[in-house]
Structure 1
Amino acid sequence: MGKKLEYDLQTNQKEAERAEAVLHLLKKQSPPLTLKQEKFCNNACVKRFLKCKGESVKKAAKQLRACLSWRESIGIDHLMADEFSGEIADGVAYVSGHDDQGRPVVIFRIKQDYQKLHSQKHFTRLLVFTMEVAIQSMAKNVDQFVLLFDASFFRSASAFMNVLLGTLKMVGEFYPCRLHKAFVIDPPSVFSYLWKGVKPFVELSPITMVVSSLDFEESLEFSDFASYPRASSLRFDPSSVPSTAKIGSCSSSRFSFTVSHSLDSLKPWHLSFTDTSASKVGPSTPALVGPALISPLNARSYSFASPVARTSRGNVYPVKKSFFPSTPLPQKTQVMDHARINHPRTPKPSFLQSPALFFRKDCHVSRADKCRESFVPFLKFYRRQYDEMTYRSKMRPPLGGLISIVSPQLRRSHMSFSQRF
């Protein structure tokens, strides 16, 4: 215990020294840091940038300076809820609650036409405003949040891909080590193929998962499909047909089939062993006239017959050489006693026969199963009805805006768009 405690103290001391070195580099650069920027660059913030950049002081200082410039260009210090009153009323982006670990769960329900009606800067400010509200609602020992992207409002996979990649890039560069997990819910069908090609180039792709809400619907269980009748077999007995009336008939030298009045759509025809054609193939001896000419052996192609059928048929009819010869049978070289041969019911497993034995189900879980299991704790936040007043209660000044000082009676009378429809 003493060695571990000593090691932890040394590690904390090294981290503090690196954080001081990053702040020292920032203060040397111009322009000098403002009071708000110095407040933003606290010890926890600098450690997150160091962790993101592999404990490199120069890289962390460079990215932190870029983050400060970006925050200044966005105008984060002047963000207010009054600017996004329509989005807040409709529930486009909001904090749904906190999970068991106290992490805020942010939900984005952005429609495909939203970016056509608003500028890119307004859209970026909306995302930043929502994440700033999530950060303000964190407890002291929590520094991460969870993102849920509801992609069911998008018809185009490429349009949603642009929104997702832009958001993940912004979170990775300017909110490093803030994202715990991200879930993409019900994306367009082509999205999975695009995501496979883009994943290697996305920094936050290992913690981004694609799930479907249909996997968690209680109404779609496998037992519901038991009421549907099974498709009957195509093997049919002609004697079971009650009707003998024919709609039409077709005959050939091999077999004939008739169409009955039965309403069975799977088996509207059946084979018949009565020869109705005038032309016959084979010898015309009286002993072989009749049902012997039409048999299961000559009702199919000779080249696809079994070896037993070919040998037995050769004793009755002379085999004629056709233009496309069939595969010759191997000649018997030794008489074998089949009774002494012990045929195993299941062959012994080997690496060449079954390499999948190394990936058994009990020790190998697919990525889809992992995604579903990871999304289960956040399913209640996704299904929870949006409440505008609950979300506004999480906003602290100045993010809350002027509406935060309105009387509670007026706030209760204001109903959100999602509640009206």
Structure 2
Amino acid sequence: MFFINDQFYSKGDLHQQFERFDQMNVLRDCRKKRIAVCTNNVFDALALTLYIKENGGSVVPIHAATPRDAAIRVAHKSSSHILLFENFNSPILMINDRVEKQGVLVQMSSGTTGEPKCLERSWEDIQEEIDSYNKSLPVDKGTVPIIACPISHSYGLISGVLTALDRETNPIILHNLNPKYVLKKLMETPNHLLYASPAFIDTLTKLSPQDFSFHNVMTSGMLMSAKCLEDLKSKTNRVLQQYGCSEAGCIAINPDVQEPHEMGFPLGHFTLKAGQDKNDPKEVIVHGKRKVIHTNDIGYINDSGSLCLLGRRDDMINVAGLNVYPHEVEEVLLKAPHIQEVVAYKKPDAFAGERVCVQFVASSFMEEARLRDWCVKQLAPHQVPVEYTQVEKIPTLPNGKISRKLVGEMMGC
């Protein structure tokens, strides 16, 4: 049915685990309850999620690395009745008298642009996503998904695991994310589809042997730099990219990525509204059967019908009435010698309203004047950063994403 690292779990193993859950008092009438789960045991976590889904209950997956007190806070915030932590032997009961009206998957938004939010999606919505996703995914049944990302998030759980099980394909879920081990599993599985974050994929690309090639790679979560994509494409049969949000799951898939900003074509159960071209971008609005979602992303639909993203509306920098998209500034600086990572963010300015600043990681010391000269030659005046800060590591959120808001706050903006 599925692998976790090197261990295979059959339908029989899952059935035995379901029988164990049937005997747990706290899981009786789980259809009426909301159950939070946080454990390092990936099989327990996945089996419980599938059990609750099958019984029409509600589940709140919490990242396995979350400490106990933090997991309790998430359980409270998500209105859970029970928190099953670590080995499930000592369930933590919450004060909650509500009765669930329908089974839902509850997830916390990433908090990239603000306070994380509690988001709910019905199992009916999720099955609709699974059906539409599998119709749009350009791989055959023999392609094995290798999931090198947390299954507490929809990218790993829904796009990676649940869609594979629906295709009756045995996914490989990697709890051991040591890059050497992941590369070993990829080499052992030639016909693979790797699910991972752009940053981790870039690490694997750099560490992979010269004669190694990825078969299929799926990326999601944030825009990959042009340089990273170029390196990846040189070692990959096909690079895919998906775009989504916590409220809707996967929204679009690009079956063959040529440019990082091309997110691809909407899944069949959605229609999208955005700008008509790069010079007139607008917020991406998702229209589904039951809801309309304002994504807060800025983009446009190109001539081939593919959604192209320019960035988050909250991240956009308004310099004297002119919009600056951080990704465009970052792409220019990433082409400078010795630059390895860059993040552009906004800083209030008394004259222009906002100005562009950057943090960067480089392989050697870089003089600010040298970087400014580089930018002046390749960017419009309002796009040129006013501050350049060299750091050893750019701070990220627990899920690995970069928060421009967090970087700006750390720099006193």
Rg (Cα) greater in structure: 1
Task: Name the TM tier (shorter chain).
Answer: under 0.3
Q: Structure 2-normalised TM-score?
A: 0.25
